[in-house]
Structure 1
Amino acid sequence: MRRSHALGLVGAACWDAWRLLASRIEDATGLLLLGAVAIGLWAAGRATRNAPIRVGRLAALLCLYAAATLTGPALLQIAAAMLAVVIVAVPEATRSLPRVPLLAAALLALPILPTMDFLLAYPLRRASAMLTVSLLQMNGLSVRLQGVALDWHGRLIQFDAPCSGVRMLWAALLLASIVSIAGRFSTARYALLLGTALAAAVTGNGVRAASLFYLETGLLTPGLPWAHEAIGIVAFAFIAAAVVGGSRWKARAW
């Protein structure tokens, strides 16, 4: 079967997933990301529309989608549909558009932040709090860790959910996927860049939290109402630079 016909079949078979996806898009960012993914898939599908695809593989993808529809939550159903579209659109032999980073970017473009918050918020809060305590102790401050809170002279400063760094991690993983697509990275190089993105996100959030500690405790009072936002922007700039720099270093090493 030609891939153009298979794509049409997958699109029609997964119509309920597209309906669910449309109902979960809450802002322009998600719409733009999905639009970019759609353009990339359209370009890949146009370049390989006459390439054949095994009927058995197509049937397996549709069975996987059916299983997700019957047994899984809506997000799993949407992810299974996106997986089927990417695998059908991008054959293994396509070097101009690596499939694994594209699939990851497509999944990250889905409305997965609430799920990431639920699954990763506490582990990331704990890791960032441990790093923050270490940084502050290195600076001579008597700070201890209690759970996900900083204990400073009997005062507990909580690491709440927005400070977990989940959104920083999501953005770092998405940036790593985009860089890998643009650089035509192999799966191994892409996996290494994902590790770099994870380490940079946790480190950057820890540095951000350590910087905010001085504002929260009154040790530093710059009198700037936008200080929190400025620190967050600087921290994300550090993360982005680490991801891009890591991709260049690995490009030379590999």
Structure 2
Amino acid sequence: MDVIKDFPIYVAKKIKHETVDDLIRQFKGLQANCYDLMINRVVIPRDKKLKEIEKDGNADWRFHEREVKFIVRTENGSSISVEFGLCKTIKSLKDYLYDVKKVSIDQRQMTFNGQELNDEMILNDCEIINDSVVCMNKKNGMSIDIDINNVIEKFDENTIVSDVIKFRKPSNAENYDLVIDGKIVPRNMTLQEANISQQSKLKFQERNITFRVRLCNGSRIRVDMPPSKSILNLKEHLNTVEKFPVCQQRISFNGKDLTDDLTLHDCGIKDDSDVYLLGRLYGG
């Protein structure tokens, strides 16, 4: 933490900005997103007005580096949980893994979302956030061009398949598999292990989710659908199997009525979810 002597007095007399965020940006510049302001070990909201903070000359003001919790996955498939500062470099992360976690870092390259991370980069620049998965594989793998849905992408052969999917499908990677010659490629393999080579042709295949629709009479229907399908698509399916007119259906999940334009993914419907089919309410 960076402690600033007489910081409250400095703020009271010299700082012209309005909010805590303005203050952090003045002192930390391009790395401002990596820090919080703490007073007496309490994090102050970034949108708080400076004039609302009591100017106590004895208060302990300091900048506190934010930390992220993420996973480092090694080439042998093991996962290491790490909590690290956003301003720390990839080199310091490697040193930490070697010194504290006893992981070999000799000739190892770190990748995130299919892209190589240079030693001098900081975690914040790499866009590593909570629950991210950073991979550490053997360095200097051969670069290969692979065709995914008729788009050529260049990847290191040691890139894990799940990272390839995340690179192309960052917001909903969990909903897709990579398929080659009609077979799903295991997500925990590297491209090399999966025998994916130069100019291999792959396709994305959307995964189905399996969930239950509970009817008013207590019975249940098992439904398998891609998460990109809409609530209207679900109603049409229920009309086909249950002869329940779409215009009379009301779909509810987690206590909320779902509109026709939302997708199953938008609604948070996943494997083993319980969705309710109700009769439509009419105003009187």
Greater percentage in helix: 1
Q: Which has the larger radius of gyration?
A: 2
Band the TM-score falls in, shorter-chain normalisation: under 0.3
